[in-house]
Structure 1
Amino acid sequence: MKSPADLSEASMSSYLKCISPIDGSIYAERPLMDKAAAFDAVKHAGDAQAAWAMRPLDERVAIVRDAVARIGDMNDQIVPELAWQMGRPVRYGGEFGGFTERASYMADIADAALAPIMIEDSDSFTRYIKRVPHGVVLVIAPWNYPYMTAINTVAPALIAGNAVMLKHASQTPLVGERLAQAFQAAGMPEGVFQNVFMGHDVTADLIAAKSFGFVNFTGSVDGGRHIETAAAGTFTNLGLELGGKDPGYVMEDADLDAAVDTLIDGAMFNSGQCCCGIERIYVTASLYDDFVAKAVAIVSGYKLGNPLDSDTTLGPMAQARFANEVRAQTAEAIEAGATALIDPALFPEDDGAYLMPQILVDVDHSMRVMREESFGPVVGIMKVADDNEAVRLMNDSDFGLTASLWTKDMARATAIADQIETGTVFVNRCDYLDPALCWTGCKDTGRGGGLSEIGYHNVTRPKSFHFKKAL
């Protein structure tokens, strides 16, 4: 369900159109590059990259830090822009906190992460391994957290000496423009960072033509398959963060109030449109009834409405078709025996992008809502008998991005964490991206790893130096 401009409707015309979920109006419209212009942009990036890579690391870091700060200076304009583009309520203040945390951490560790690995420096030999840039990196970013997901790759790629072309989602076209504005003002050499508007076909043509050393894509599983198909036979390095169906498991010794507050927020925040949002919850039998009652009370207190209203806690989904998919999954589950606990009378909706939140019980894994990515404000809660059942259910998924465990027993948590097929295991928290840890997944969630020192491995390649000294 994560749906950036991977297979965008914009591909069908010469213009990209952002339809605002607030009122269905066209909020932004941009011309799409034709194939010739796109290949010219790649050449421009390649021509600029060599000189950029030759600049001292500290200069590259300084320009990236400056650009990040300039995004912060634009925050008052960015917050309502995000509300208009993808529906997040203005009360939450945008993404600059996480945006600057991630970029700053990658800048902080750049010197150590990119330092050569010295094997030998003797009278006879000098042997070492360097990490060198791929050249031109394409970042295809999603709309749900459009600044934070983009900077995950943009910052380390630029710092490492690559040129970057950013193709942002059709739902959030102003984000790429804001980033380009910030980098230009920070003194980024022309061509090193380019914001581009391209349709799917042109993007696929560029990838198939070996235009990029690395392509990072965050989006749907189907979109990831199209990226892999376009790259087939080119040996292009790929980073793919695709779907998710992230579970939470609440054990009998958990802090119940903290578990309910955090997991329900993880399921509902941003109208459920979070890459690592909680989509299914398993609760030990002794806490199940209390957990469900507290969860219903929290969700019943939300206010669904216009995201420009500071009282709104739940805005519209980014597109009506995304909301309709969640409605379909929910209706199918109810027809199959699930019970919906949130009263529709509390949340008048318009059958469009404005979707009420819902909690489902009496669910099982035969239902799509417990197996397929929902990416919306709905969560199923199941009672489990023990750790073995919880592990089996958490692993009964095609996806593996994160899992959230709730217990005071760290040894028990560690033993369970070792059995879960996932990229990240949280204990007593969820829905957070720690830039010091590798952001990665398994199964249909994708491949590769972003942020942390390992994030630099994605945007560079190893190059070995073996010098025998003449005596």
Structure 2
Amino acid sequence: MKTSFDVISPLDGSVLLTRDYADAAQVADTLALARAARGTWAGLPLSDRLALLGRAVDALVADKARIADAITRQIGRPIAHSPFEVRGLEERARHMLAIAHEALADIRPEPKPGFCRFMRREPLGTVLVLAPWNYPFLTAINSIIPALAAGNTVILKHSSQTPLAAEILADAFVAAGLPEGVFQYLHLAHDATLALVADSAIDFVAFTGSVAGGRAIEHAAAGRFIGVGLELGGKDAAYVRADADVDAAVENLVDGAFFNAGQSCCGIERIYVDTVIYPRFVDAFVALTRQYRLGHPQDASTTLGPLVRASAAEFVRGQISEALAQGARALIDPALFPADAAASAYLAPQVLVDVNHRMRVMHEESFGPVVGIMPVAGDAEALQLMNDSRYGLTASLWTRDEDAAIRLGRALQAGTVFMNRCDYLDPALAWTGVKDSGRGIALSTLGYAQLTRIKSFHLKG
């Protein structure tokens, strides 16, 4: 059994750092500390908890340079883009703190003479957050901040690709003065993680990751009657209607497809364009894609870095090769991107046309810098193709007609419907999915609901 793990940097394939896995005694101590801290933490006035958490957010914002460097070195995101994650982290965290009083307030039914009746949200206990590598701070903070604000203790198990994220988050909570045991992290192997999910000391699991990972988490938690929040994969679609602002759609959809090398659960992976504007859209999309600069992510001029590992790039290369063999056409010459190299994590962006839904690249999650574009005759065909997916995280509509967007949005099988934007999480809105994109809710006032339990008070005068 391995007792440690290496983080392989996608920058050059070298060992970036090595960390020890927590052993059974460390796990037991962590659970004991979390349990011991519950009463004191939950007993603090909400305003006191929020003040401490606000200080932790301040510490993270002040540590922006360290966070950006850790993101770039661990996952290969260009250093020019990595600081944006701190901006998003702050936006989400501060919003969730700002709405905590409203979200956690007592719920009172219609008055009834002679009775005092209300429902109160109470913390669940200890929340286990299982966070992924692709947005290592954003995805973690979505659950950590509301879980702590609600009075839970939190244990974070981060991806083995991004252990520095867990350590930096822990430093911020220590700097803010959180009591011992309120926030902790563990570095764990796969089997040990599943064992922790099954442990009676865990009261809720917030998981972000693959569909296969979600199934494993559900299986481990089966029979325990605890909540499991699952944010899983996506094959997010965009529909560009004939009345769209083509230039704006191109600019935003290119970014939605290729930011973070396409490694976003809500990134754009397939686009459907009205036949009336299809040629113009494709030409402009290709022209803008060619402006990307693939290179070493610590170079400030790089706009497209490597994928997280060489095997991830090889997976996307396989999808592209298979699509080409089935009749698709590639519109980007990899020779324009000299850093692209077989068997490496560096992969040129690719735009495919003449694609169809028999091709893996149009129905299987890519999680890389490739997008397929198809012409459609109108709304009906676009809806049919957008819904023809096992996933349902987000969908974006590009149109000047808000009524049409709402009408189409009602028919879309997705957790979030965008009009004239994509690849974004608004902390005031619930983040959720349907089908294989998972279940549960993060962010918004509703995000607090799954991190608390209701207790009803029925008092007769």
State whether TM-score is above 0.5: yes
The answer for unaligned runs of 5 or more in structure 2 is none
How far 1:186 moved relative to its partner? 0.3
Give me the whole-angstrom Cα distance separating, in 2, the residues matched to 1:43 and 1:119: 38
State the partner residue of 1:8.
none
Give me the whole-angstrom Cα distance separating, in 2, the residues matched to 1:66 and 1:321: 39
Residues 38 and 202 in structure 1, CA contact (< 8 A), matched pair in contact too: no
Give me the whole-angstrom Cα distance separating, in 2, the residues matched to 1:120 and 1:262: 47
State the partner residue of 1:9.
none
Give me the whole-angstrom Cα distance separating, in 2, the residues matched to 1:80 and 1:136: 31
State the partner residue of 2:8.
19
Determine which of 430, 438, 441 is the counterpart of 2:430. 438
Determine which of 413, 427, 445 is the counterpart of 1:453. 445
How far 1:39 moved relative to its partner? 2.5
Give me the whole-angstrom Cα distance separating, in 2, the residues matched to 1:328 and 1:93: 28
State the partner residue of 2:293.
303
1:316 aligns with 2:306: yes
State the partner residue of 2:358.
366
AA partner of residue 387 (structure 1): D
Residues 28 and 173 in structure 1, CA contact (< 8 A), matched pair in contact too: no
Query: CA-to-partner distance for each residue in 1:13-35, whole Å, 9 max, x for gaps?
Result: 21122110001111121110123
Give me the whole-angstrom Cα distance separating, in 1, the residues matched to 2:289 and 2:382: 24
Give me the whole-angstrom Cα distance separating, in 2, the residues matched to 1:101 and 1:33: 32
Determine which of 106, 117, 126 is the counterpart of 1:116. 106
State the partner residue of 1:182.
172
Give me the whole-angstrom Cα distance separating, in 2, the residues matched to 1:35 and 1:199: 12
Give me the whole-angstrom Cα distance separating, in 2, the residues matched to 1:206 and 1:413: 44
How far 1:120 moved relative to its partner? 5.8
State the partner residue of 1:84.
73
Query: CA-to-partner distance for each residue in 1:367-402, whole Å, 9 max, x for gaps?
Result: 000001000000000000010000000000000000
Matches within 5 A, 1:55-94: 55-94=44-83
AA partner of residue 54 (structure 1): G
1:131 aligns with 2:121: yes
State the partner residue of 1:47.
36
1:415 aligns with 2:404: no
Give me the whole-angstrom Cα distance separating, in 2, the residues matched to 1:72 and 1:16: 29
RMSD: 1.0
AA partner of residue 347 (structure 1): F
Give me the whole-angstrom Cα distance separating, in 2, the residues matched to 1:123 and 1:433: 44
Residues 272 and 375 in structure 2, CA contact (< 8 A), matched pair in contact too: yes
State the partner residue of 1:338.
328
Give me the whole-angstrom Cα distance separating, in 2, the residues matched to 1:411 and 1:119: 35
Query: CA-to-partner distance for each residue in 1:334-389, whole Å, 9 max, x for gaps?
Result: 01100000011111222211111000000000000000100000000000001000
Residues 363 and 389 in structure 2, CA contact (< 8 A), matched pair in contact too: yes
Determine which of 338, 350, 357 is the counterpart of 2:341. 350
AA partner of residue 359 (structure 1): V
AA partner of residue 241 (structure 1): E
Give me the whole-angstrom Cα distance separating, in 1, the residues matched to 2:70 and 2:26: 28
State the partner residue of 1:3.
none
Query: CA-to-partner distance for each residue in 1:260-284, whole Å, 9 max, x for gaps?
Result: 1101110000000112100000000
Give me the whole-angstrom Cα distance separating, in 2, the residues matched to 1:260 and 1:370: 19
Residues 38 and 198 in structure 1, CA contact (< 8 A), matched pair in contact too: no
Residues 17 and 29 in structure 1, CA contact (< 8 A), matched pair in contact too: yes
How far 1:93 moved relative to its partner? 4.1
State the partner residue of 1:275.
265
TM-score by length of 2: 0.98
AA partner of residue 20 (structure 1): S
State the partner residue of 1:390.
382
Give me the whole-angstrom Cα distance separating, in 1, the residues matched to 2:329 and 2:341: 22
1:425 aligns with 2:414: no
SS of residue matched to 1:282: strand
Give me the whole-angstrom Cα distance separating, in 1, the residues matched to 2:457 and 2:57: 34
SS of residue matched to 2:277: helix
SS of residue matched to 1:439: coil
AA partner of residue 358 (structure 1): Q
1:244 aligns with 2:234: yes
1:204 aligns with 2:194: yes
Give me the whole-angstrom Cα distance separating, in 1, the residues matched to 2:33 and 2:192: 17
Residues 120 and 128 in structure 1, CA contact (< 8 A), matched pair in contact too: no
AA partner of residue 341 (structure 2): D
Query: CA-to-partner distance for each residue in 1:64-88, whole Å, 9 max, x for gaps?
Result: 1110110111111221221110001
